[in-house]
Structure 1
Amino acid sequence: MKVAILVREETMKRCTGKGCLNAFFQRKDAFAGYEGDIELITFSHADGDIDHKIETMIKNGVDVVHLSTCMRGKAPNYEVLAKRLSEHFDVVGYTHGSKEGKGQETIIMKKVTK
């Protein structure tokens, strides 16, 4: 399983990524259900040229994209981004902490098949 984590650019100005990366490498919180080998392919912010980032993730075989917990809590485009990503990947709308969001419900979407 190849995984990407997208975080909020504004948060990355002060965040080290420790929460997201600990959850991934310790297989807890949003990553607790994974079995077998999982590989972190991308750890990037979600701003900038998202189409290019999606193309690169497709080329690198990403299966699932996790939107960071800070995206769920603070990004105004959280739902729109999740829907856009689900055109190509499974999407899990958090990384660490509780599955239930304080302000927004956590989005979990399977890749849209056409």
Structure 2
Amino acid sequence: MKIAILVREETMQRCTGKGCLNAFFQRKDAFARYGDEAELVTFSHSGGDIDHKIEMMLKNGVDVVHLSSCTRGKSPNYETLAQRLAEHFDVVGYTHGPETGKERATVFLRAKRL
């Protein structure tokens, strides 16, 4: 299982990624569902050329994209981004902390690919 984590670009200006990375490496919160076979192959922000990032994730065999908890909480295009990514990948709409968001529901989408 190859995993990508996409974080909110604006948050990355001040965030070290510790919450997302700890959750992945400790297999807790959103990553509790995976065993030791899960491999983190992408850790990036969702800004910039998302089509190129999707292309590179496909090339690297990503199966599941996790949108960071800060994206769920603060990004106005959270649902739109999740839908775009679900054209190719399964999408889990958080990384760490509670599964349910304070102000919006967490998305869980299956890839639409054949």
**Which interval holds the TM-score relative to the shorter structure?**
over 0.9
Sequence identity (%): 72
Q: Secondary structure at the match of 1:101?
A: coil
Residue in 1 that maps onto 2:28: 28
1:1-114 map, 5 Å: 1-114=1-114
- 1:83 Cα offset (Å): 0.3
State which drifts further: 31-40 or 87-96: 31-40
- TM (normalized to structure 2)? 0.98
Question: Any gaps of 5 or more consecutive residues in structure 2?
Answer: none
Q: C-alpha distance in 2, partners of 1:78/1:103?
A: 12
- TM (normalized to structure 1)? 0.98
Question: Any gaps of 5 or more consecutive residues in structure 1?
Answer: none
Q: C-alpha distance in 2, partners of 1:33/1:113?
A: 22
- Detail structure 1 runs of 4+ shifted over 2 Å in the superposition: none
The total of aligned residue pairs comes to 114
